[in-house]
């Protein structure tokens, strides 16, 4: 099938093109982008008139727990560990496989409607997460969450291996999801790293989210800084480190020596009272930073436009410097940097000939976004997920004019309300 997008205003995130181009046509054939030119005359099965609209790469959420949609706004007034122990873990113990499916599907709808086309997820009952992702069409990188202290916990690594063998769809990829250094001992972590090396997979892990975690790691691993554990054990893996709030300047300089990518989750970090990560210092040390929402339990929602705005404002504020993080750099963090973090940048993250067609179309004809004086700043500071009109993933139009075909939203919402009513008793 051929899809032709006509007369768009293009933000391709391709470093070999102009940052912003007007009146551009894009031809998609099956899953891939095959032409990006002015005035493409080739006939197509589907033509999208994008006059006055902005086309850009789909947003990439590099850290979330998308089955946690049902736990939205349960954290208010709790510290992280207290929230988990007193609220979340008791409810999670009551979750059934179908609960995971419906809760995940609700998140998939939320992401597609707000412009996210790829998400990196960490949770359990992964088969049902994948089932929901395939139903919605979203691109998913996932795992079987790994944590443990005993030999019997290594069975979880075997479960991940079985998942990898079971799913070969090109919208599904995997990483080795170590929950965190503070929830596993070093022997178990080394087993996970060995598996990542054997399978040539990235490692995805919570890292230094709060001060208590930092202190727990130092004590458990007998180190002066948690970064020593990364240097000691993760030197030959591609690492996606979520949060990384409690890192000092020396930590950042040491982390630079490893193949580590940061997933910055500013809203979750603020809501849990963790603080603000030193993102500007990371960028100054050439560490690739991408963006994540975390799960809705702590991050409230999955709207990456909101995440972009918080990212930019927080760094300007804590550095007392309005020149920090120009809007275009924030867009990179939400697109091509996310693809690099997930090791998918040869396929997605920018609009280029030969790459997969993961594309969103924005309608900025809105009272909040007019007049447009700086298109990049307009998107970062004023656009909302609701400005996303159309979404294409892997060449398929999964949402057009705000409507997702084949999805009964009210049914899914009702199912999720029933689930939380049952497990919260």
Domain shared by 371 and 328, yes or no: no
Per-residue pLDDT at 93 = 94
Per-residue pLDDT at 76 = 87
Nearest CA among 190, 115, 191 for reference residue 154: 191
Query: CATH number, domain at 137?
Result: 3.20.20.140
Domain shared by 361 and 304, yes or no: no
Domain shared by 266 and 369, yes or no: no
Query: CATH number, domain at 34?
Result: 2.30.40.10
Helices then strands, counting H and E runs in the chain, come out as 17, 17
- Residue 155: other Cβ atoms inside 10 A: 9
Per-residue pLDDT at 81 = 79
Characterize the bridge pairing of strands 59-64 and 54-57: unpaired
Phi/psi for 289 (5° steps) reads -115, 130
In a 13 Å sphere around the CA of 396, the CA atoms on its Cβ side amount to 15
Average pLDDT in the chain = 97
pLDDT in tens, 249-281: 999 999 999 999 999 999 999 999 999 999 999
Q: Is the pLDDT of residue 188 over 90?
A: yes
Q: Is 420 domain-assigned?
A: no
Q: Can you state the angle between helices 304-318 and 327-334, rounded to 10 degrees?
A: 130
Q: Is 210 domain-assigned?
A: yes
Give Cβ neighbours of residue 58 (< 8 Å, ≥ 6 apart): 115, 116, 117, 118, 139, 335, 348, 358, 359, 360, 391, 392, 393
Per-residue pLDDT at 222 = 97
Characterize the bridge pairing of strands 46-49 and 172-174: unpaired
Per-residue pLDDT at 402 = 95
Q: Where are the beta strands (DSSP E) in 133-181?
A: 139-142, 172-174, 176-180
CA distance 163 to 176: 11
Per-residue pLDDT at 77 = 83
Q: Is 131 domain-assigned?
A: yes
Per-residue pLDDT at 293 = 98
Per-residue pLDDT at 78 = 83
Which of 306, 341, 376 terminates a domain? The answer is 341
Domain shared by 12 and 112, yes or no: no
Per-residue pLDDT at 169 = 96
Q: Is 224 domain-assigned?
A: yes
Q: Is 410 domain-assigned?
A: no
Domain shared by 171 and 294, yes or no: yes
CA distance 90 to 86: 7
Range of the domain at 381: 2-57+356-399
Q: Is the pLDDT of residue 408 over 90?
A: yes
Q: Is the pLDDT of residue 64 over 90?
A: yes
Omega before 182 cis (within 30°)?
A: no
Domain shared by 262 and 120, yes or no: yes
pTM above 0.85, yes or no: yes
CA distance 46 to 155: 48
Domain shared by 221 and 98, yes or no: yes
Q: Is the pLDDT of residue 425 over 90?
A: no
Domain shared by 89 and 217, yes or no: yes
Is residue 46 within 8 Å of 400, Cβ to Cβ?
no
Domain shared by 146 and 253, yes or no: yes
Q: Is the pLDDT of residue 305 over 90?
A: yes
pLDDT in tens, 348-395: 999 999 999 999 999 999 999 999 999 999 999 999 999 999 999 999
Q: Is 421 domain-assigned?
A: no
Per-residue pLDDT at 363 = 98
Is residue 268 within 8 Å of 293, Cβ to Cβ?
yes
Q: Is 424 domain-assigned?
A: no
- Tokens of residue 302, six digits: 């999955």
Number of domains in the chain: 2
H or E stretch including 411? helix 409-423
Domain shared by 31 and 134, yes or no: no
Per-residue pLDDT at 80 = 79
Output the DSSP codes for 25-82. EEEEETTEEEEEESS-----SEEEE-TT-EEEEPEEEEEE-GGGGGGTT--TT--HHH
Output the DSSP codes for 178-200. EEEGGGS-HHHHHHHHHHHHHHT
Nearest CA among 392, 413, 391 for reference residue 402: 391
pLDDT in tens, 77-136: 888 778 888 989 899 999 999 999 999 999 999 999 999 999 999 999 999 999 999 999
- Tokens of residue 36, six digits: 């990006």
- Residue 146: C-alpha distances to residues 190, 250, 398 (Å): 12, 29, 32
Domain shared by 47 and 161, yes or no: no
Q: Is 417 domain-assigned?
A: no
Domain shared by 10 and 115, yes or no: no
Query: For the chain, how far is it from start to end, CA to CA, in angstroms?
Result: 50
């Amino acid at each position: 099938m051929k899809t032709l997008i006509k007369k768009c205003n293009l933000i391709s995130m391709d470093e070999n093109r102009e940052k912003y181009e007007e009146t551009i046509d894009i031809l998609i054939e099956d899953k891939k982008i095959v032409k990006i030119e002015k005035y493409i005359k080739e006939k197509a099965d589907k033509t999208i008139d994008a006059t006055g609209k902005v086309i850009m790469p789909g947003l990439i959420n590099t850290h979330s727990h998308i089955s946690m949609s049902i736990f939205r706004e349960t954290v208010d007034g709790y510290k992280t560990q207290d929230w988990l122990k007193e609220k979340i873990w008791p409810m999670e113990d009551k979750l059934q496989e179908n609960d995971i499916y419906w809760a995940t599907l609700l998140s998939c709808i939320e992401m597609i409607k707000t412009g996210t086309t790829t998400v990196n997820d960490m949770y359990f009952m992964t088969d049902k997460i994948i089932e929901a992702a395939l139903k919605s069409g979203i691109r998913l990188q996932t795992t079987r969450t790994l944590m443990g202290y005993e030999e019997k916990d290594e069975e979880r690594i075997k479960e991940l291996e079985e998942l990898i063998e079971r799913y070969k769809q090109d919208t599904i990829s995997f990483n080795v999801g170590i929950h965190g250094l503070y929830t596993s001992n070093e022997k178990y972590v080394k087993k996970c790293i060995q598996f990542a090396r054997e399978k040539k997979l990235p490692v995805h892990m919570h890292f230094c989210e709060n001060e208590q975690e930092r202190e727990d790691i130092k004590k458990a691993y007998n180190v002066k800084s948690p970064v020593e554990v990364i240097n000691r054990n993760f030197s030959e893996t591609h690492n996606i480190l979520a949060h990384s709030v409690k890192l000092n300047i020396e930590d950042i300089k040491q982390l630079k020596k490893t193949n580590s990518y940061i997933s910055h989750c500013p809203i979750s970090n603020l809501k849990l009272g963790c603080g603000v990560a030193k993102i500007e210092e990371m960028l100054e040390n050439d560490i690739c930073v991408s963006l994540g929402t975390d799960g809705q339990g702590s991050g409230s929602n999955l709207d990456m436009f909101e995440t972009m705005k918080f990212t930019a404002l927080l760094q300007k504020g804590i550095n007392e410097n309005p020149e920090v993080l120009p809007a275009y750099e924030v867009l990179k963090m939400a697109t091509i940097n996310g693809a690099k973090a997930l090791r998918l940048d040869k396929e997605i993250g920018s609009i280029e000939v030969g790459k997969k067609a993961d594309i969103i179309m924005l309608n900025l004809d809105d009272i909040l976004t007019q007049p447009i004086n700086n298109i990049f700043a307009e998107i970062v500071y004023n656009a909302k997920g609701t400005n996303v009109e159309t979404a294409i993933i892997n060449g398929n139009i999964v949402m057009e004019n705000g409507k997702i075909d084949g999805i009964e939203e009210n049914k899914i919402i009702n199912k999720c309300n029933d689930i939380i009513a049952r497990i919260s008793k």
